[in-house]
Copies of this chain bind each other. A is one copy, B any other.
Amino acid sequence: MTETRAPVGRGMRARRRVLRAALDVLADDGMPGFTIESVARRAGASKATVYRHWASPSALLVDAMDAEFRPLADVDTGDLRADLVALLSLFAASLTGSPFPQLMAAFTDAAERDPALGEMHAELTRRRREPLLRVLTAAVARDELPRGTDADLVVDLLAAPFFYRRLIAHQDIPEDLAGRVVDHVLAGLRPGEAVVVRAKTPTLGARRSDRQGN
């Protein structure tokens, strides 16, 4: 028994092809089209091969999502606002220029009905939040934010609008959304002078565009 589980063998390549194909199918056709047959077909693999590796479609889906996950690059320039805007802009980019939203929509639906997928969804979300969380706790540590700040709630406030606009409201995500969200949220965090200072910067002045009508 070689026990070493050869890092790159024949089986490993097939496995990776299938995982990749699984995500392609999911993004293109959603859960209704996510079938063992169509994944195998797309991977150029045999059904038997897929069944050999995964006991159920959920198991395959979990592995595929896990393999695909890429954490946002960590940033820490020491400038809270710049760090947050950078992270959220990266996130916004993945929401506009990749199949990520389709994957999210399909997986969200599946997670709503399969507990194992639900747990996986929660875990992936937790990982995605980490960079933001680190930036915020660092800011608290150097007293740039009040000590009692609930960093988890702040991450919700920062990240949620991007999902919401893209997946729920079906509006596009303007270039400056990251900056405006960060400004609004940070302004709400600073009791006293910090808010006033920021309220007078050009940043907020630029939002006087009320062309939105009623």
Which chain B residues lie closer than 8 Å to A214 at the CB level? 137, 151-152
User: How many copies are assembled?
Assistant: 2
> Taking the nearest CB of chain B, how far is it from the CB of A213, in angstroms?
10
Sampled A-B contacts (12; CB under 8 Å):
A30-B31, A105-B111, A106-B112, A108-B167, A109-B109, A125-B170, A126-B169, A148-B208, A152-B214, A156-B164, A186-B188, A191-B204
Given the known interface contacts A31-B32, A150-B207, A199-B192, the answer about A167 and B212 at a Cβ–Cβ threshold of 8 Å is: no
Which of A60-68, A82-90, A177-185 lines the interface with chain B?
A177-185
The majority secondary structure among interface residues of chain A is helix
Number of A residues near B (Cβ < 8 Å) is 68
> Are the C-beta atoms of B191 and A31 separated by less than 8 Å?
no
> Are the C-beta atoms of A109 and B30 separated by less than 8 Å?
yes
